[in-house]
Amino acid sequence: MNPRGDQTFERCMKCTICNDYCPMLAVNPLFPGPKSAGPDGERYRLKDGRFFDNNLKYCLNCKRCELACPSGVHIADLVQLARLEKAPTYPSLRNAMLGSTDLVGRLATTFAPLANGALKSEFVQDALDHSLGVDAHRTFPDYAEQTFVRWYKKEAADRQKSYPQQVSYFHGCYVNYNFPELGRDLVRVLNAVGVGVRLLERERCCGVALLANGMKKSALRHASANLKSIRASLAEDRPVLLTGSTCTLTLRDEYPNVLGVDNSDVKEGITLATRWLYEAVDAGRIKLVFRPDFARRIAYHAPCHLEKLGWTLYSTELLKMIPGVDFVMLDSACCGMAGTFGFKKEYYHYAQEVGEKLFKSIREAKPDIVATDCETCKWQIEMSTGFEVAHPISLLADALDLPATKEANEKGSTASS
Amino acid sequence: MKFDAIIIGGGHSGLPRATELQRSGRRCLVVCAGESPRRFVEPVWSQKEARRAFEALGGTFLMGDSVVRGLFTDHRLMAVQTANHGRTRFEAPLFYLATGSFFSGGLVATHDAILEPVFGLDVDYVGGHADWVSPDFYADQPFMRFGVRVDEAGHPFLNGQPIENLYAIGSVVSRL
């Protein structure tokens, strides 16, 4: 399971295919590339930690090298581990702030109007740029005035138990603090197909931002709290659904491969909402009734971590089910944002250069809207192209005739019972 | 999830066959364990372009995934399951095995046998370990001819029985 434990890096045959797939290497000659940073470097680092190359900081952890590797080497995991264990510097105040998404989110949503206004003012942006190194070009995502959890407890929690089937929703920091609309859309869609949405006993940030910013200990605490809640949910037959592709990859793969936390007993119960919905429709367990007047040209961008999960097809097949959709599949390419990477002043221009290929293909596709499962891809694409970006679940919520769907599923469940 | 054809292996045999089928109007799924390791003789961009052409026709390409199980009924392959998709079944009336030879893992040599690791299909090979390799590096190497046994139509065998909706193509096939 651990990329060191099973020595998979020894299977590297030096073919350099990973380097060809690396989006960072293509724009940044300072980055040694996945082959040198991963399996080659690992041999040296095992001898002596002083062989750690500080330019590993440029790795986006997009995992595209791992996807392409014909020998199954966990290249990006090796780089992540090396950065966590061998990087000589302590995290800076900025990295601690960017990494602690739930702590900062809690603060910012409490003072949302103030925080949103401040983050848009030139003065604050310049101050962040000079004092902390958060690039002034970057547009910050808005913070919500009411968190998803608060809305859920006030408006939705009571009626969820009345549905014949239940799932748990791991909303993640983004839905809770920045974009509760997505969580509300998921509740609307699942409720319409007769599924109640519950929250986990206790949810912490999945920890991906902590890992990217060198805070392994906090990430470990988050992992054990989350797995405890996930185990409790599965024990009551509630699968855990997510809307964020990166949170999903973190809970399923980064926990064992990077943090060394065993999740093999619950891994199969952690799934993406789009996958769960697609499979339920495919198996005939639920029915979707679409509005006749929904017509959109949708360009789909496959986020790197969804590609690594291999689950892109569930989101795209779900969108293709909508009758009025003119579907365009964009060539799979990294947007460059890589979570908190693109916020950092010293990396900002690399993020934009990496994403340029994707931005160009979006401009050429001329869609009405771009769809993607990743929140940070959404920020990056909206800021860099001006196109609106929506999650497949939100598009589904728009395209569905919710009352008719509700009726069809109620009829279906009484007919079968 | 249902397809008209599922092709296991996205290399020089699998991808052209998948593209041909997709062009003829069949919905195809390609499961590709990784980029073709023949980078040494062929630039990787040709592989990227071939994948792009297949996807532009509407084909589905699973990169970095591998088939871990085949579900058989009466000498027919009904569905496959992959490493990334857990219990999800990928069903099709037609399957192709295009996983290549030893280098890409389509064939595996142990100390006393040559195996086909995806389904455990019958493999043609001769002699014991010592007979597989010629000590003369430049000589015709016997192991290069080993591969899964196929009937005249190209169906491989499982426990002596041909699988009627599965075809083996490319270098995974025996040339003995």
Give tens-digit pLDDT for A58-116: 999 999 999 988 888 999 999 999 998 887 666 677 788 788 887 788 777 887 777 88
The reported pLDDT for the residue numbered B38 is 57
Band the pLDDT of B35: cuts 50, 70, 90: confident
Determine whether the interchain pair A331/B52 forms a contact, defined as Cβ–Cβ distance below 8 Å: yes
Flag whether pLDDT at B43 surpasses 70.
no
- Search chain B and give the residue with CA nearest A313: B60
Q: Find the range with the poorest average confidence among A46-55, A250-259, A325-334, A397-406.
A: A46-55
Instruction: Kindly tell me if the per-residue pLDDT of B22 is higher than 90.
Output: yes
Answer whether A70 touches B (CB < 8 Å). Answer: yes
Q: Which residues of A touch B35 (CB under 8 A)?
A: 17, 20-21, 68-70
What is the mean pLDDT of the segment spanning B99-113?
Answer: 92
C-alpha dihedral (A209, A176, A237, A262), degrees to nearest 10: 10
| Residue A6 binned pLDDT confidence (cut-offs 50, 70, 90) | low
Is the Cβ of A29 closer than 8 Å to some Cβ of chain B? no
Share of chain B above pLDDT 90, in %: 80
| Mean pLDDT, residues A360-372 taken together | 96
The reported pLDDT for the residue numbered A414 is 53
What is chain B's mean pLDDT, rounded?
A: 92
Q: Tell me where in chain A the CATH 3.40.50 domain(s) lie.
A: 296-399
Instruction: List phi, psi (to 5°) of B25.
Output: 100, 10
Task: Give the Cα separation of A272 and A314 in Å (integer).
Answer: 9
**Which residue stretches of chain B are H helix?**
14-23, 44-56, 129-132
Tell me which of B3, B28, B63, B88 to substitute to probe the interface with A (most A C-beta atoms closer than 10 Å): B63
Among B88, B97, B102, B139, smallest CA distance to B118 is for B97
Check if B41 contacts A (Cβ < 8 Å): no
Residue A38 structure tokens:
């991963």
- Chain-centroid distance, C-alpha A124: 28
Min Cα distance B129 → chain A (Å) is: 22
Distance CA A104, CA A174 (A): 11
Instruction: Identify the pLDDT of residue A49.
Output: 85
Query: Mean of the per-residue pLDDT values for chain A?
Result: 90
**Is B55 in contact with A308 (Cβ distance < 8 A)?**
no
**Closest in A67, A308, A310 to B85, CB measured:** A310
Q: Which CATH superfamily is domain A8-86 in?
A: Alpha-helical ferredoxin (1.10.1060.10)
pLDDT at A129 > cutoff 90: no
- The pLDDT value given to residue B82: 96
pLDDT, position A7: 60
What is the structure's pLDDT at A229?
A: 97
Backbone angles phi, psi at A24, to 5 degrees: -75, -45
- Whether residues A70 and B40 touch (CB distance < 8 A) is answered with no
CB contact under 8 Å between A310 and B104, yes or no, is no
Q: Taking the mean position of all CA atoms in its chain, how far away is CA A79? A: 19
| Mean pLDDT, rounded, for B63-69 | 93
CB atoms within 10 A of CB B89: 16
- Closest chain B CA to residue A269: B86
Please name the fold of domain A296-399: Rossmann fold (3.40.50)
Task: Quick: pLDDT tens for A142-158.
Answer: 888 899 999 999 999 99
Chain B residue numbers with beta carbons less than 8 Å from the beta carbon of A69 are: 34-35, 64
Which residues in chain A touch residue B44, judged by CB atoms under 8 angstroms apart? 17, 20
Would you say A263 and A256 are in contact if contact means Cβ atoms under 8 Å apart?
Answer: yes
pLDDT band at residue A416 under the 50/70/90 scheme: very low
Q: Indicate whether this complex's ipTM tops 0.90.
A: no
Q: Which two tokens stand for residue B171?
A: 């270098």
- Residue B41 pLDDT: 47
Residue-by-residue DSSP string for A138-176: PPPPPPPSS-HHHHIIIIIHHHHTTSSEEEEEE-HHIII
Burial class (CB in 10 A: 0-12, 13-18, 19+), B132: middle
Q: What is the mean pLDDT of residues A115-124?
A: 81
Which of A15, A66, A329 is the closest to B64 by Cβ?
A66
**Mean pLDDT of the region A183-198:** 97
Q: Which is higher by pLDDT, B8 or B34?
A: B8
Residue A382 burial (C-beta neighbours within 10 Å; 0-12, 13-18, 19+)? middle
Instruction: Show residues of chain A in contact with B55, CB under 8 Å.
Output: 329
Residue with tokens 């037959």: A237
Q: Give the alpha-carbon dihedral of B29, B35, B38, B43, to 10 degrees.
A: 100
Confidence check: pLDDT of A2 > 90: no
- Distance between A195 CA and the closest CA of chain B, angstroms: 21
> In the predicted model, what is the mean pLDDT of residues A8-29?
90
A-chain residues near B82 (CB < 8 A)? 310
A341-357 pLDDT, tens digit per residue, is 888 888 899 999 999 99
Single pTM value for the model: 0.91
Catalogue the long-range contacts made by A262-268 (C-beta closer than 8 Å, 24 or more residues apart).
A262/A1, A263/A227, A264/A1, A265/A231, A266/A227, A266/A230, A266/A231, A266/A234, A266/A240, A268/B86, A268/B87
B65 in reach of chain A (CB within 8 A): yes
CB pairs under 8 A between A and B: 61
CB contact under 8 A, B63 and A71: no
Q: In percent, how much of chain B has pLDDT > 70?
A: 95
Q: How confident is the model at residue A1 (pLDDT cuts 50, 70, 90)?
A: very low
Angle formed by the axes of helices A348-365 and A375-385, to 10°?
Answer: 80
Helix, strand or coil, per DSSP, at residue B156:
strand
Name the segment(s) of chain A with CATH classification 1.10.1060.10.
8-86
What percent of chain A is predicted at pLDDT more than 90? 69
A417 pLDDT tier (thresholds 50, 70, 90): very low
